[in-house]
Copies of this chain bind each other. A is one copy, B any other.
């Protein structure tokens, strides 16, 4: 399955790589993940199949890299949350942006495909988390620590779990398509997470 004899990456064709990224993303968007085949990607990219098998171990790996490449282009390194001093406002802004991104049909196909692949295949999942989720989560953590420092968050809060209070419900709703993702939803989420469901004492 995987290549045993490792190829010489210096001689790799940049042209082919880019063509493969584009073909992979296009196909996943057009026909879905399962009907996207390596053969199809190769044909569309004008590339020999072996060129794919030489550099990637699986369809999921191709797609992950293609997606990372796309993400890198889109958000030019900007993995930092705004910090206006008003935690609630900042979170609303970010979550609304996330909602918009998740609703963007261009990203939907590849994102769902990767998420699903990661759910089933631990290897892919680990890559997915490390490359895509982790940077985002850490940006949240930094913002929450900053809030904690200025007394907008309870001291001693487990930042990771705190982050999940925002991201978890959003992801849940998106993955399972239970109800639509709206800006209002994002706002409510921020409200509930910050001030709790219990009545104020």
Contact = CB atoms under 8 A, between A and B. Distances in A.
Copies of this chain, complex-wide, total: 4
Contact of A169 (B122, B151, B168): B168
Contact of A176 (B121, B128, B161): B128
10 contacts: A112-B119, A113-B120, A115-B119, A119-B176, A160-B178, A161-B188, A165-B193, A171-B172, A193-B193, A195-B198
Contacts of A154: 197-200
A15 interface: no
Contacts of A118: 175-176
A2 interface: no
A165 B169 contact: yes
B197 A194 contact: yes
A201 to B, nearest CB: 6
Given A164-B172, A165-B193, 10 more contacts: A34-B121, A118-B175, A119-B176, A128-B176, A158-B188, A175-B175, A192-B193, A194-B196, A195-B198, A200-B200
B199 A151 contact: yes
